[in-house]
Chain A
């Protein structure tokens, strides 16, 4: 079995940056990523798509540069199309499934750079064909250059909505309508958080996207509530309080939350983030988690965006080098200083954005009992409320009662919603309802892949 100083799970901005820093310091680095090429979600397919005028900007410039540097760096064992389906945190063992079957690797330190997922948006009708997440449409553009057909409606909120609208407009398919769910009064609350001057470059970028998207002819309805997708067999209409319109494709988005599937399965300590309304792993200033070997960098440790992820990845790599005896504490701290400064700058606007785009209570816990919350096992909000009334104290109990979280996604899509519904029904804060504890395999594997694993090596 190959042994590494540092194994990195994920080849997005945090993972690539950590690999570059660690390999530059002489560490042997293993990078495992499910995608066929580096980039993560934000820079997905950047090597192939950077020339697409619809994706001009940060993606084409910063993303392409990072991927190029990553590819050019020696001492990185980069394995694309590889899924990590189990980690033994104590032994530093990673169980893998790659293009040529199963395998294992060992690492002195493991960095989870698994990024973010979109927050589930459980509105009535969200399982209908034709309803997708906004991120999904952006991935179609990045990986296939494809754009939605028919009347396109965006619903929800957050910076990605405006970026996607602008990109689709450049691709010749501006959305017809944006149903913006940002509540009235959110801007006032957000402005009170400050950070605008320090985050002015990011703010200007956002304003430019807003202007570009509106100039494309996209209509905007603000303060939308009571969103629902309607249609038989596929989405035909989208309705909200006070309005309805035809639609061919409906794209939903309410921001992103850390992808904590693996960190929760490992039993790492997590905390409820009241500003971002999500769970995040408890980390120190180097990204070190509550488990001795495991660190986390990037959005998987709390949403900060790609620039913050790049800096956090570098910091985690410096710490890995220090722990491996390659850097003394003083050298590590010296090298860390510019990354810490850049991290602070990258996060300056975050409190403003978190407050502006905080999802409404109806997004966290859908009010209508008939709304499906678990897409896999088709469990409704009403069933979860009933289970909570019968005594289920959190999502792990609801899973046993109703199978919510027991389907193929292992609760990635319903876990947060189920917890919020239990909390609402029992009149407790969400943090007290707790969080789903997933188990390995983190992704499905075949019996054959399991049987292919190398025999246990004698110690």
Chain B
């Protein structure tokens, strides 16, 4: 959904988005990585399962909630990418008795 301009941001960091390696500009947020990965959705809502992608990118809307390095419900727009970071979509509600 977004394209980088490597001529202006040459330095990159390798992360894993939904298990796939992706090179993103240094200083980008995990939410930016989700958008640059071109996922159809980075989240399905707990209420209706509707697809969402990050909306505000500034810590307000919480639509970028993602699992980052194994911790669920992180605000991906407030987390800066680091080498090897694992960023994974969240699907629906977590049900009691199932694995996180």
Contacts and interface: CB of A to CB of B under 8 A. Distances in A.
Interface of A: 34-37, 41, 45, 48-49, 51-54, 81, 83, 117-118, 127-133, 135-136, 139-140, 143-150, 171-172, 233-234, 248-249, 259, 375-378, 407-409, 412-413, 443-444, 446
Contacts of B58: 41, 117-118, 135-136, 139
B26 interface: yes
Contacts of A172: 5
B56 A140 contact: no
B53 A54 contact: no
Report, nearest first, the 8 A-B pairs whose CB atoms are least far apart.
A145-B9, A136-B57, A144-B28, A408-B62, A129-B53, A139-B57, A146-B2, A409-B62
Contacts of B80: 36, 81
A132 B57 contact: yes
Contact of B51 (A129, A148, A413): A129
9 contacts: A54-B5, A117-B56, A135-B57, A140-B35, A144-B4, A144-B9, A146-B35, A407-B62, A413-B61
Given A127-B50, A248-B1, 20 more contacts: A117-B60, A127-B63, A129-B1, A132-B53, A132-B56, A139-B58, A143-B29, A144-B25, A144-B27, A145-B25, A148-B2, A149-B1, A376-B45, A378-B48, A378-B50, A407-B62, A408-B62, A412-B60, A413-B56, A446-B71
Contacts of A48: 26-27
Given A378-B45, A413-B61, A143 B5 contact: no
Contact of A45 (B2, B27, B53, B73): B27
Contacts of B29: 143-144
Interface in B11-46: 24-29, 32, 35-36, 40-41, 45
B39 to A, nearest CB: 8
B87 interface: no
Contacts of A259: 60
Secondary structure type dominating chain A contacts: loop
Nearest to B74: A444
Contacts of B41: 129, 233
A233 B60 contact: no
Interface of B: 1-5, 8-9, 24-29, 32, 35-36, 40-41, 45, 47-48, 50-63, 65, 71, 73, 75, 77-78, 80
Contacts of B26: 48
Contacts of B55: 127, 131-133, 136, 375
Q: Which of B1, B45, B58 has the most CB of A within 10 A?
A: B58
Contacts of A443: 59, 75
Nearest to B26: A48
A408 B73 contact: yes
Contacts of A149: 1-3
Q: Of B40, B41, B80, which is in contact with the most chain A CB atoms at under 10 Å from its CB?
A: B80
Contact of A144 (B32, B52, B71): B32
Contact of B2 (A41, A83, A118, A147): A147
Nearest to B59: A34
Contacts of B52: 127, 129, 375
Contacts of B75: 443-444
Contacts of B24: 144
A37 B65 CA distance: 21
B53 A412 contact: no
B56 A147 contact: no
Given A172-B5, A376-B62, A129 B73 contact: no
